Chain A
Amino acid sequence: MAIIERPSTDVATTGTAPVYVTTDTTYGVFRRPVQSEGWTSWLFTVDHKKLGIMYGVTAMVFFVIGGLEAMLIRAQLAGPDGTILSADRYNQMFTMHATTMVFLFVMPMAAAFANFMVPLQIGARDVAFPRINAFGFWCFLLGGIFLNTSWFLGGAADGGWFMYAPNSSVTFSPTNGIDFWLLGLLITGIASQTGAINLIVTALNMRAPGMTLMRMPIFTWMILVVQFLLLFAIPVITVALVLLMFQRGFDATFFSVEAGADPLLWQHLFWIFGHPEVYILVLPAFGIISEVLPVFSKKPLFGYPFVVFSGAAIGFVGWGVWAHHMFASGLGPVSVAVFSVATMAIAVPTGVKIINWTLTMWGGKLRFTTAMLFAVGLIIQFTVGGLSGVTHAVAPSDTQQTDTYYIVAHLHYVIFGGAVLGLFAGLYYWWPKIFGKVLNESWGKANFWGMIIGMNLTFGPMHIIGLQGQPRRMYVWTEARAGEGFFNLGFWNLVSTIGSVVLAFGILFFFINIWVSHRKGTQPAPLDPWDARSLEWLTSNPPKEHNFDRTPTVHALDEVFHRKYEDRGENGQHDYVRVATTEELLAEEEANADSHIHLPAPSYWPLVLAFSLPVMAYGVIYSTLLIVAGAGILALAMYGWAMEPSYADPSDYDPDPPSGGAELEVANRG
């Protein structure tokens, strides 16, 4: 099967008149990479599936790093007067734990699924801008590494993940940690920003024929909403980051109270980004379980339009609630009342979703596979987090809870219980599609129960600890103030630490599961192991490089389900009868394969361009010379990129191109 077609006659267009580009019209500087195997094929790839896997693997590495940071925090707090971490290190630890988990795990893990699945779900062969996609990944990876090198270069950032100013100015944090944090987030911000533009264009513009917006799989819908949130949230935090950078680097006084500044400026800018960010974290997981629940309930998603529009509603209302993070900052009664009401209002679309999920399961033929368990786990755990969230929406009670462990409990129930469980559901559900192996169910269940028990033991007691008044971010607690009886802080802190060990084992089981499932001798995954419903299952496992042999034509929501089953019911009753196996569907696609499949060729430039950014960032901290060098690489990469056509030139494939268009055959790279 031809995968990459040489651009046969090399017709370039200017308006209507075709101009033949001869082979000596070489664009760019180097011969471009064309490998589809080996490590260079990964390094220079623009394939959305490879990039999706790379996003996922990198995110998992950062997940482990962030997890170890959390374990150190819990170890420090296990007993009174902990001595494992110094106060300084402790500050760095919780700052980097949160930063890593939010920006380097949950967001990129969602990006991994989005990259891999969105083109497959809408019947496209790649994203709209494959090179920009690769650029985004490299920005994320290099930005994440840059951020973490601060550990070895004088200490990491220590201002907490929302980095409140003026506490984050040089006076209070004289190391370079916060500078690394600012620059690192600017670089990963570029990844999110370009990814957002790319995925919105992909979802809006590259849908297969017949795939109307209301036939789009729900995961793609939620990803679309998230990308709009990112598109408008990232520039706001960019402003905040730049202002703080100018304050730290150039002695500006944007946040210095003694110079007459308003420190609330940072809080507003940060949370205008920060609250949509919460939905950026959780909506992809909502999308995933909205795919998983119908499949394992053997029912269509209950009220698909409601789930779509409530997702969009969350996307809108999410912009009007940011100040509920600031109730304790003295905003004034009117603001507090308005944001309090808005916050309660946003619980409505979220509640709609929970009802839809529950009713999807209602009366269904439930199969409790690991993916399903994680999805159900999300519904329950996220609801717990949502309920404590309602107590924050009530401003007087929030004032009591602000900056206590109660907040920590709440945010972990929504982010771990919401986003992370959903992402794991996605891992189990889509693993066969991505890697061609089904993950082991026994280890999967151990993984699930380890994580569920672990998270409830870890984060559950934090409600008690917090309401008892233990502040978050305090690096030690003393026996003398721990209280007595049921509310003894020491006891619950210890439970929480033990819980974190259980949780760590739960996650370890996941990695063991990967190893177990990929051992020699394990069977390749069946084509359609779950009897799934959406378009990504209309291709092989793992998908072919060009995704679909024939661009699918879509007739219904849950297209693959409707191709497999026919409604034989009468008088308004539905009676779906299986009429085709997935193997038969795929065979039909293969028999009618498109004759011309154009795939974009790999490129060096995304990597080179992304590489210039951390070089410049180190330059900002250490030496102007590096800024100049980085800018040089940046300029080179941009021009190289701009002049490189998105398709490979025949001369790129072999040094002596056949003469004339007529003899060019297709490179058979199957």
Chain B
Amino acid sequence: MADTAVHPDATDAAADHGGHDESGHGAHHSSTGLSNNKLAMWLFLGSECLLFGGLISTYMLYRGRHSENLGPDQLWDIPFTSASSFVLLMSSLTMVLGVTAAHRGDLRNAKLWLVVTATLGSLFVAGQVYEFTTFYREGLGFTTSLFASSFYTLTGFHGVHVTVGIIMLLSLVAMLSRNRVPGDKGETVEMVGLYWHFVDIVWILIFTLVYLIPA
């Protein structure tokens, strides 16, 4: 069966080839109207809720199990963590700006905002490293108490998620610069954005449950 030089339905073919999913059934084919990628990302984030749910439950169970002088009340530096939380929340704002720029087709600004988002995220992770170091110096090792283990595991998992997000952002910027993002660029940026917002929302929960509510 020979293909013709000009695709009979050029726009259709374009959507198929550059399509944002892998199978050639682009968004215009999908039964729900959502693109495959977006639906998959939402499902993934749904399952991530259960992952953090498990870790948060573990922490809530063990938050009170520590020695007299090495509990949340002695360790938390609320002003500092509030500042780093603020930085992370602002990165959601810059992420939104990046996504809208990408959807407009303004890749230059999209890349700029993605770099800013990654920078803010890195500031947050740096703050977490500083915080962990301080706690460790004050005597809270990973195995010091059940409180310590569950705290480090929960916030560590979150920190790793943020770090993965930063790597995704920077890779995306590099791939956008070299025109190596296959498919709909706006949607690809949006996917990373969904992940990033999710990680931020989880932090709001962690910050509230772990830091703000008195032990």
Contacts and interface: CB of A to CB of B under 8 A. Distances in A.
A231 B43 contact: yes
Interface centre among A269, A647, A666 (most CB of B within 10 A): A647
Contacts of A596: 3, 7-8, 13, 16
Contacts of B10: 11, 18
Contacts of A234: 47
Nearest to B188: A642
B129 interface: no
Contacts of B23: 124-130, 206, 598, 600, 646
Contacts of A9: 7, 13
Nearest to A250: B142
Interface in A623-645: 639, 642-645
Contacts of B62: 254, 261-262
Interface string A17-42: 01000000101000000000000000
A81 interface: no
A15 B184 CA distance: 7
Contact of B1 (A2, A12, A15, A246): A2
Contacts, number: 193
A15 B46 contact: no
A254 B3 contact: no
Interface stretch (B29-37, B83-91, B193-201): B29-37
A349 B32 CA distance: 28
Interface stretch (B50-58, B92-100, B132-140): B50-58
Contacts of B50: 232-233, 235-236
Given A8-B7, A198-B40, A254 B47 contact: no
A387 B212 CA distance: 50
A132 B143 CA distance: 37
A205 B22 contact: no
A269 B58 CA distance: 9
Given A13-B184, A600-B24, A643-B175, A204 B17 contact: no
A238 B51 contact: yes
Contacts of B30: 205-206
A14 interface: yes
Given A200-B43, A235-B50, A646-B182, A128 B32 contact: no
Contact of B3 (A5, A14, A239): A5
A412 interface: no
B7 A595 contact: no
Interface in B73-109: 105
A655 B105 CA distance: 34
A132 B44 CA distance: 13
A241 B50 CA distance: 14
Contacts of A600: 22-24
A647 B24 contact: yes
B44 A243 contact: no
A193 B105 CA distance: 33
A207 B25 CA distance: 10
Contacts of A643: 175, 180, 182
Contacts of B213: none
A243 B18 CA distance: 42
A248 interface: no
Nearest to A6: B3
B202 interface: no
Contacts of A170: none
B186 to A, nearest CB: 7
B3 to A, nearest CB: 5
Interface in A201-230: 201, 204-207, 211
A205 B31 contact: yes
B39 A204 contact: yes
A265 interface: yes
Interface stretch (A292-300, A427-435, A657-665): A657-665
A205 B34 contact: yes
B163 to A, nearest CB: 13
Contacts of A68: none
Interface string A504-548: 000000000000000000000000000000000000000000000
Contact of A262 (B25, B48, B61): B61
A326 to B, nearest CB: 16
A598 B16 contact: yes
Nearest to A124: B25
Interface stretch (B112-120, B145-153, B203-211): B145-153
B215 interface: no
A233 B50 CA distance: 8
Interface string B167-184: 000010001000110111
A578 B62 CA distance: 68
B1 A1 contact: yes
A600 B29 CA distance: 16
B22 A240 contact: no
Given A124-B25, A252-B143, A595-B1, A201 B43 contact: yes
Contacts of A201: 36, 39-40, 43
B63 interface: no
A239 B156 CA distance: 13
Interface centre among A9, A13, A666 (most CB of B within 10 A): A13
Nearest to A8: B3
A254 B146 contact: yes
Given A11-B17, A206-B30, A664-B3, A131 B47 contact: no
Contact of B142 (A7, A252, A644): A252
Contacts of B145: 259
A126 B19 CA distance: 15
B3 A666 contact: yes
Nearest to A647: B17
B65 A260 contact: yes
Nearest to B46: A231
B126 interface: no
A15 B36 contact: no
Given A128-B23, A205-B31, A197 B14 contact: no
A590 interface: no
B31 A206 contact: yes
B111 interface: no
A261 B150 CA distance: 11
Nearest to B157: A242
Interface in A250-293: 250-254, 259-262, 265, 269
B13 A240 contact: no
B18 A197 contact: no
A128 B8 contact: no
7 contacts: A8-B7, A128-B36, A197-B44, A197-B47, A235-B54, A261-B65, A269-B58
Given A239-B58, A254-B146, 14 more contacts: A8-B3, A14-B18, A129-B23, A232-B50, A235-B53, A236-B51, A243-B153, A253-B143, A254-B149, A595-B8, A596-B16, A598-B17, A599-B24, A647-B24
Interchain residue pairs A-B with the least CB separation, the first 8: A239-B54, A598-B24, A13-B18, A235-B51, A646-B22, A662-B5, A235-B50, A205-B30
